[in-house]
Chains A and B, each alone.
Chain A
Amino acid sequence: MQSTLALNIPHRSAALSRYRIAVLDILSGMAAFRIWGRLGWRDTKRRYRRTAFGPFWSTASLAIFVLTLGLVWSNLWDKDPKSYLPYLTSGMLCWVLFSAICSEACCSFYYTYEQLIKQLRISYTLLACATVWRNVIVFFHNMIIYVLVCLYAGVAVTAATPLVIPGFALMYLNALWVVMLLGAGCARYRDLQQLVGNLLQIALFLTPIFWSVDQLKGRAAVLAQFNPVYHVIALVREPLLGHAPAPLHWIAVVLITLAGWALTVAMLSKLRHRIVYWL
């Protein structure tokens, strides 16, 4: 019987330090796509069983939100709806993905996957992958809205559009470490979940989604650059709108990815063996 490493990480020993186990957790977890793919897909199915439209219900409500807001605010700010709507839609789609991942990350270890963690020596990264995958599936359902908006607004597919693929890949990589850190953090300190909820609310307004950076004046414009979520979203939004993202975005996101994963490896090395005791 083949051993799926992600479900049976070797015990700590003289040959296998905590750091190596952490790395093994990450690599084997990501590699076990059959398992996390199935877990994520199954969770999506479960949420929408016996409903008529399935995940498209959330798509519909998002569409109404975006349409209404888009029309009202483009009017308020004297913007052309044909340029504002695609901007708002692509931004909102990314935001909904990010915010759903953060909220679900908080209860992923101590609630969603608590039983599994207590039954198997399972890779935590595998569980994070399942959480992210589940939300990415919903993201792809929501993309219908963007396609329709593009048809209406006449947004062209340019040479820069395929850049959305690496942009999205980077977003995915970052989502994974966020889930790992939040999942572990909230398992130990349940208050963290409340804090995250509050931060997400204000972050929605502090990130250029309803507004664009060029609307800001002076110091505010510079400050906005320090919002990490801005850069991650920009990497996906810009190609979707047909222009290549500025190099600043690429640099910022690569740095964020490296820093985030370094933190995660450090956390796993020190605390991986304690997480199950917090559940």
Chain B
Amino acid sequence: MAQIVLKNVVAEFPVYGSQGSLRNALFGRVVGGVLRRQPDAGAPVVVRALDNVSLAINHGDQLGIIGHNGAGKSTLLRVLAGIYEPSQGSVTVDGRISPLFSTSPGLDLDDTGYENIMTCGLMLGMTAAEIARKLPEIEAFSELSGYLALPARTYSTGMLVRLGFAIATAIDPEILLLDEEIGAGDARFARHAAERVGKLIERASIMVFASHSDELIRQMCNRAILLDHGRLIADGPPADVLDIYARMSKEEPAAAQPAAEAGVAGHPAAASVGAA
């Protein structure tokens, strides 16, 4: 059975080439950088994107991640995918991960639609035989027909989205990680897309989905967590967690800064709802 366990995960991003401390920045501004003393030659500024996150995700969980911009949703997804290894703590993954952060990894605008299906399919982990077998279904869903033989450069943005979507949802995931970029094309496509994503999720053992859309979270998830400035502050049924989020948003509008190293802005932390 697939499972993911995070223990005390801290993810810190060094920002190379930054000015360093606030004092230097101010000083530099006042004296125009000419008289500035030796700047702090030392560690670069560090952005703490995830702060002590502990979480267990089990088979059957369709987990939604919600939070403000900069709360750490995408970072958490990428830590789960193993792209960013945490600087502290551990991530234990049991099962095969299928990250869908961009629907078309390896897309080349000069290649034809068919060639891109093969490239993106390979990058998403399918074998050539599998892609050949699923080609009719991908063609049908993307609704691009004749355009597939033309270079992707000739496609509109909506068409590119449909193509990427068709390929990405043809995979057979075990642990599916979705970032909120499953933007849709027009309204009719959005409906088809929702159905297809639904079927995709059914094939998966675990799904983790980061989104700003309350609607999508309610529709697709059976559990939700709330991140704020890198901290996990709520975990429970989607409806409850969304309520906490809504209340939090009303209390302190536009709290959208990522947590910098000195002085993480505190929030009146919401009590953690009992984990489902």
Whether, in the assembled complex, B126 has its beta carbon less than 8 Å from a beta carbon of chain A, the answer is yes
Bound state CA distance, A263 and B172, in angstroms?
Answer: 38
Chain A facing B: main interface SS:
helix
Instruction: Please tell me if the beta carbons of B125 and A42 are within 8 angstroms of each other in the complex.
Output: no
Instruction: Please tell me if the beta carbons of B110 and A273 are within 8 angstroms of each other in the complex.
Output: no
Q: B147 → chain A, closest Cβ, in Å?
A: 18
Q: A34 → chain B, closest Cβ, in Å?
A: 7
Bound state CA distance, A8 and B174, in angstroms?
Answer: 12
A positions within 8 Å CB-CB of B = 1-4, 7-13, 34-35, 38-39, 42, 45-46, 49, 115-121, 273, 276-278
Bound state CA distance, A273 and B11, in angstroms?
Answer: 12
Whether, in the assembled complex, B132 has its beta carbon less than 8 Å from a beta carbon of chain A, the answer is no
Bound state CA distance, A10 and B85, in angstroms?
Answer: 12
> A3-B96, A42-B108, A276-B84 provided; 11 other pairs, C-beta below 8 A?
A1-B125, A2-B125, A11-B91, A34-B122, A46-B108, A118-B78, A118-B83, A119-B102, A120-B83, A120-B123, A121-B97
B positions within 8 Å CB-CB of A = 13-14, 16, 78, 81-85, 91-93, 96-97, 99, 101-102, 105-106, 108, 110-111, 118-119, 122-123, 125-128, 130, 171-173
Bound state CA distance, A151 and B153, in angstroms?
Answer: 43
Instruction: Please tell me if the beta carbons of B125 and A3 are within 8 angstroms of each other in the complex.
Output: yes
| Residues of A close to B101: CB separation below 8 A | 118-119
Instruction: Please tell me if the beta carbons of A121 and B83 are within 8 angstroms of each other in the complex.
Output: yes
Question: How many inter-chain residue pairs (CB < 8 Å) link A and B?
Answer: 77
Q: B234 → chain A, closest Cβ, in Å?
A: 26
Q: Which of B92, B99, B111 contacts A11 (CB 8 A)?
A: B92
Instruction: Please tell me if the beta carbons of A120 and B105 are within 8 angstroms of each other in the complex.
Output: yes
Instruction: Please tell me if the beta carbons of A276 and B123 are within 8 angstroms of each other in the complex.
Output: no
- Closest residue of chain A to B16, judged by CB? A278
Instruction: Please tell me if the beta carbons of B14 and A277 are within 8 angstroms of each other in the complex.
Output: yes
Nearest 7 pairs of A and B residues by beta carbon: A273-B85, A1-B172, A121-B82, A11-B93, A11-B82, A119-B101, A2-B127
22 pairs of residues in contact across A and B, judged by CB atoms under 8 Å: A1-B130, A1-B172, A8-B97, A9-B82, A10-B93, A11-B93, A12-B85, A34-B122, A35-B122, A38-B118, A45-B110, A46-B108, A46-B110, A116-B105, A119-B83, A119-B101, A119-B105, A120-B83, A120-B99, A121-B99, A276-B84, A277-B13
